[in-house]
């Protein structure tokens, strides 16, 4: 379990994280999303105990990361690019982990070793990006982590490897012992595997919700009229955002927009349908709401 | 075995509930059949294990499936689709909307009825 309390961090004068509070239960998968420069990496570095906070505390399974550094032996970390010693061979890297981490599990390693196709005699510098990622996952799951942190774990992986990695993470979460924390830009992936998703922007957690909730908040409908549209229908409070392309209005509405729908229905529209919103749509829409959008580039 | 559409606004756990019920209706899953474990299904469909758990809980609540400690999860031997008033009304409303749409599409009464029969046959729903 991760518990973050009133976490604040700044670099010189510029604030990076502003009073973050977050809780991730054991055996669940948390996804962290946010635009570039939002503070994702800073948060990860603080959780890993690499950076010291200005204020606030981080507990991993009840241990303060900065007060009890011993807990770090229970944290696995898969970076987006693995900076392992380039001249080490794979088997030397494995040995380094085995001898460094007290909870290294021979059985778990053997189990995972069958999934990954790695040549143990190869040097790290001769490994492809995908192979390095596989090695990192193999090593960091074999240490029996209480917390596994992954930073853009699937970037640069082919679809087969990506799916395999996601399934390994799901299997690990299903065992119920590990808390998994993923930072990523790939929203479609998060959608399937996360319990909760947190959105970070300008050093603050804006939303921290289950996926179901996120999807319930907003809905997108498309409507077109033969003649003039009913007067002022876009001014209703249920309408959050509207765009027009020719006859077709695409409007983002609140979930409780049934009344609006019924009203529009009476005008016998040529088209009136609910369009599913992907997590990516919702994210872009919401970031627009906090001043990080690109509406200006959308043709009116 | 089951299809999940992540773009749909129907929550994934409800989609899974629907898919499993449909599989039972079609006879792909039969009373007494063992369902995959939460872990197996989670990995098989690449969806969160807690989501699968939630679907199973919902199906258990509706007495479609039952969990036997240490043995696994099974389709209930005497599965009785229950007539929940509220759900029935909801279904009725949905059906009404579809019929209105069918009408605007120019479907005659006979064609609508024929279509329903055809779909019932496809789903192998028996007359009772």
B40-88: pLDDT as tens digits: 999 999 999 999 999 999 999 988 999 998 899 999 987 766 556 667 7
Alpha-carbon distance B47 to nearest alpha carbon in chain A (angstroms): 5
Check: CB of residue A169 under 8 Å from CB of residue A138.
no
Alpha-carbon distance A73 to nearest alpha carbon in chain B (angstroms): 26
Q: How confident is the model at residue A293 (pLDDT cuts 50, 70, 90)?
A: low
- Residue A73 has a pLDDT of 94
State whether A170 and B49 contact (CB < 8 Å): yes
Q: How confident is the model at residue A227 (pLDDT cuts 50, 70, 90)?
A: confident
Alpha-carbon distance A98 to nearest alpha carbon in chain B (angstroms): 27
Judging contacts by C-beta atoms under 8 Å, the chain A residues touching residue B38 are 174
% of chain A surpassing 70 pLDDT:
95
Residue A252 reports pLDDT greater than 50: yes
A192 Cβ neighbours under 8 A, 6+ residues apart: A166, B4, B6, B12, B46, B47, B48
Q: How confident is the model at residue A295 (pLDDT cuts 50, 70, 90)?
A: very low
> Does residue A160 sit at the B interface (CB-CB below 8 Å)?
no
Place of tokens 């079609």: B26
Please state the length of chain B: 128
- Residue A188 has a pLDDT of 80
Residue A257 reports pLDDT greater than 80: no
Structure tokens that stand for A131 in this block: 């192979």
How many pairs of residues across A and B have Cβ atoms under 8 Å apart?
Answer: 53
Alpha-carbon distance B40 to nearest alpha carbon in chain A (angstroms): 8
Alpha-carbon distance B51 to nearest alpha carbon in chain A (angstroms): 8
> Does residue B12 sit at the A interface (CB-CB below 8 Å)?
yes
Judging contacts by C-beta atoms under 8 Å, the chain A residues touching residue B4 are 192
Q: Phi-psi region for residue A185, left (φ > 0), alpha (ψ -120 to 50) or beta?
A: alpha
Alpha-carbon distance A192 to nearest alpha carbon in chain B (angstroms): 5
* pTM (predicted TM-score): 0.78
State whether A170 and B46 contact (CB < 8 Å): yes
Residue scoring higher pLDDT (B122 or A105): A105
Place of tokens 């309408």: A239
- Residue A97 has a pLDDT of 96
- Identify the H or E element spanning B89: helix B85-104
CA A265 to CA A274: how far, in whole Å?
A: 12
* DSSP state at residue B35: P
Average the pLDDT over each of A48-52, A167-171, B11-15 and give the range with the smallest value. B11-15
For the stretch A124-168, pLDDT in tens is: 999 988 889 999 999 999 999 999 999 988 887 888 888 999 999
For the stretch A8-36, pLDDT in tens is: 999 988 889 999 999 999 999 999 998 88
State whether B12 and A211 contact (CB < 8 Å): yes
State the best of A171, A174, A211 to mutate against chain B, taking most chain B CBs within 10 Å. A174
ipTM above 0.95, yes or no: no
User: Among residues A141, A170, A124, which one has the least CA distance to residue A78?
Assistant: A141
Residue A213 reports pLDDT greater than 80: no
State whether B4 and A212 contact (CB < 8 Å): no
For the stretch A164-199, pLDDT in tens is: 999 999 999 999 999 999 998 888 888 889 999 998
State the best of B4, B7, B10, B15 to mutate against chain A, taking most chain A CBs within 10 Å. B7
State the best of A115, A170, A218, A222 to mutate against chain B, taking most chain B CBs within 10 Å. A170
A138 Cβ neighbours under 8 A, 6+ residues apart: A94, A109, A112, A113, A116, A118
Residue scoring higher pLDDT (A161 or A233): A161
Please state the length of chain A: 300
> Does residue B104 sit at the A interface (CB-CB below 8 Å)?
no
For the stretch B25-41, pLDDT in tens is: 778 888 999 999 999 99
Highest mean pLDDT among A96-100, A247-251, A265-269, B76-80: A96-100
Minimal-distance CA residue of chain A relative to B42: A170
State whether B13 and A276 contact (CB < 8 Å): no
State the best of B4, B13, B46 to mutate against chain A, taking most chain A CBs within 10 Å. B46
CA B115 to CA A275: how far, in whole Å?
A: 25
Of B7, B38, B42, the CB nearest to A278: B7
Q: A14-24 and A2-11: which strand pairing?
A: antiparallel
- Residue A185 has a pLDDT of 83
Of A188, A193, A215, the CB nearest to B48: A193
In order, the DSSP letters of A176-188 are: TS-EEEEE-S-HH
Average the pLDDT over each of A99-113, A146-160, A255-269 and give the range with the smallest value. A255-269
Q: Where are the beta strands (DSSP E) in chain A?
A: 2-11, 14-24, 29-33, 55-60, 63-64, 75-78, 147-151, 179-183, 196-201, 204-210, 218-224, 239-245, 248-254, 271-275
Judging contacts by C-beta atoms under 8 Å, the chain B residues touching residue A166 are 46
Judging contacts by C-beta atoms under 8 Å, the chain A residues touching residue B11 are 211-212, 215
CA B52 to CA B45: how far, in whole Å?
A: 10
């Amino acid at each position: 379990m991760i518990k973050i309390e009133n976490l604040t961090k700044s670099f010189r004068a510029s604030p990076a994280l502003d009073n973050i509070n977050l809780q991730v239960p054991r055996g669940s998968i948390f996804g962290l999303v946010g635009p570039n420069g939002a503070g994702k990496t800073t948060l990860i570095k603080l959780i890993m105990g690499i950076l010291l906070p200005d204020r606030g505390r981080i507990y991993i399974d009840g241990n303060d990361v900065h007060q009890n550094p011993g807990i770090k032996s229970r944290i696995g970390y898969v970076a987006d690019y693995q900076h392992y010693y380039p001249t080490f061979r794979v088997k030397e890297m494995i040995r380094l982990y085995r001898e460094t981490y007290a909870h290294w599990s021979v059985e778990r390693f053997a189990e995972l070793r069958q999934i990954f196709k790695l040549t143990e005699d190869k040097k790290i510098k001769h490994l492809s990006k995908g192979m390095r990622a596989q090695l990192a996952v193999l090593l960091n799951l074999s240490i029996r982590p209480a917390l596994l942190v992954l930073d853009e774990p699937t970037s640069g992986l082919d679809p087969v490897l990506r799916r395999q990695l996601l399934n390994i993470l799901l299997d690990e979460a299903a065992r119920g012992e590990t808390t998994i924390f993923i930072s990523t830009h790939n929203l479609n992936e998060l959608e399937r595997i996360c319990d909760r998703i947190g959105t970070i922007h300008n050093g603050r957690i804006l939303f921290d919700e289950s996926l179901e909730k996120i999807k319930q908040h907003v809905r997108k409908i498309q409507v077109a009229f033969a003649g003039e549209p009913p007067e002022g229908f876009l001014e209703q409070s249920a309408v959050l955002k509207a765009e027009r392309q020719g006859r077709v209005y695409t409007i983002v509405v609140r979930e409780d927009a049934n009344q609006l729908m019924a009203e529009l229905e009476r005008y016998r529209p040529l088209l009136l349908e609910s369009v599913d919103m992907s997590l990516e749509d919702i994210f872009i829409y919401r970031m627009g709401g906090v001043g990080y959008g690109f509406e200006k580039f959308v043709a009116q | 075995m089951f299809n999940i559409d992540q773009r749909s606004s129907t929550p994934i756990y409800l989609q899974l509930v629907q898919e499993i019920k449909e599989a039972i209706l079609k006879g792909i899953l039969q009373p007494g059949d063992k369902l995959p474990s939460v872990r197996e299904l989670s990995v098989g469909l690449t969806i969160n294990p807690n989501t699968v758990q939630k679907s199973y809980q919902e199906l258990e609540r509706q007495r479609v499936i039952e969990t036997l400690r240490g043995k696994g999860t099974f389709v209930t031997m005497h599965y009785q689709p229950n007539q929940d008033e509220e759900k029935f009304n909801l279904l009725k409303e949905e059906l009404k909307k579809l019929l209105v749409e069918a009408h605007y599409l120019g479907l005659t009464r006979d064609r609508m009825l024929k279509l329903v029969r055809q779909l019932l046959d496809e789903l192998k729903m028996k007359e009772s």
